Amino acid sequence: MRGTAVLSTGCRPATSSGVNPGKPPTRVLRLVLEYDGTDFSGWQVQLGKRTVQGEVARAVQRVTGERVVVHGASRTDAGVHAEGQVAHLRTRTRIGCDRLVHALNAHLPPDVVVLRIDEVPEGFHAQYHATGKTYRYRLLERPVRSALRRNRAYLVRTPLDLERMRASAARLTGLRDFRAFCTEARTRGRTERRIDRLDVRREGDEMVIEVSGSGFLYNMVRTIVGTLIWAGIGKLSPDDVSAILESKDRRRAGPVVPPQGLTLVEVRYGDGPGPASP
């Protein structure tokens, strides 16, 4: 796929630190971020609450002296993690990209880190130019809760039928109307979305559900997971899942599972995924 924004081949070298009093030209920078969402009230800035967007903007101000708006590709909810969130900002700083990564990380808290920064063309937008995203949800499949994974996986004490979950997941791929799988009060406009891949696999005592698509409605991924859990415990058949999809009735789908098992893995653009490693 070709996107509307194409990355430049690199980032301008550092010639000085901070903002030049002579007002150098504005640059657009794309950041790839990793964070543990446990102690955040989500991505988006909220009055009186700790958010990822707010922490990153604060770090930028401390390093460059500028007050910037950091635009994220995904407005992750409270408790949701990210391995490859992408954001962009506009700045006049002349600090080189590699140096800026380390400077920002020196001012960020331990639960959020900048993995990479690239300079991108004017007009690039992290959210609107994204062509796809991948999310991963982890289910802890055992009778006893985990002290170590309580913020990274959702406990399901009932054994899950892997093949039944895979057969049900197959009914959700392709271009579909996911009105039955979103929170209607927060969803506006068209509810058709394309799921390119919906994998279900077992890793030790965890069931891992990974979904890639062009975009997702509010609570869509967590509702899909809740519905697949119902399939896994025998409450729904694959045909039931198809019927729920066709019904467009949110009341028939599974519950919205808690946020702690969900991770934003990557955001893709026309030039490929937002790099997830420096």
Q: For residue range 131-140, what is the model confidence (pLDDT) as tens digits?
A: 999 999 999 9
Q: Position 81: which residue type?
A: H
> Is residue 162 scored above 90 in pLDDT?
yes
Question: 212 and 193 in one domain?
Answer: yes
Domain boundary among 99, 129, 159: 129
Q: 100 lies in which domain range?
A: 27-129
Nearest-angstrom CA–CA distance, 29 and 58: 16
Q: What is the mean pLDDT of the chain?
A: 91
pLDDT tens per residue, range 58-100:
999 999 999 999 999 999 999 999 999 999 999 999 999 999 9
Catalytic residues: 77
Label residue 23 by pLDDT band (50, 70, 90).
Answer: confident
Question: 105 and 32 in one domain?
Answer: yes
The predicted structure's pLDDT at residue 9: 36
Asked whether residue 13 is domain-assigned, the answer is no
Asked whether residue 207 is domain-assigned, the answer is yes
Question: 42 and 166 in one domain?
Answer: no
Asked whether residue 210 is domain-assigned, the answer is yes
**148's tokens:** 């170590």
Residue 174 makes CB contacts below 8 A (sequence gap 6+) with: 194, 195
> Is residue 10 scored above 80 in pLDDT?
no
Q: Position 51: which residue type?
A: T
The predicted structure's pLDDT at residue 24: 77
Label residue 184 by pLDDT band (50, 70, 90).
Answer: confident
Domain boundary among 104, 129, 154: 129
DSSP string computed for 130-189: --EEEEEEEEEESSS--SSSTTT-EEE-S---HHHHHHHHHTT-EEEE-GGGS-GGG--S
The predicted structure's pLDDT at residue 14: 45
Residue 163 makes CB contacts below 8 A (sequence gap 6+) with: none
The predicted structure's pLDDT at residue 11: 61
The predicted structure's pLDDT at residue 187: 62
Average pLDDT of 123-149? 97
What CATH number does the domain containing 102 carry?
Answer: 3.30.70.580
The predicted structure's pLDDT at residue 57: 98
Percentage with pLDDT > 70 across the chain: 88
- Strand, helix or coil for residue 89: strand
> Is residue 4 scored above 70 in pLDDT?
no
Domain count, the chain: 2
> Is residue 5 scored above 70 in pLDDT?
no
Q: Which of 217-226, 251-260, 262-271 has the lowest mean pLDDT?
A: 262-271
Question: 186 and 166 in one domain?
Answer: yes
Label residue 18 by pLDDT band (50, 70, 90).
Answer: low
The helix or strand, by DSSP H or E, that contains position 59, with its residue range, turns out to be helix 52-64
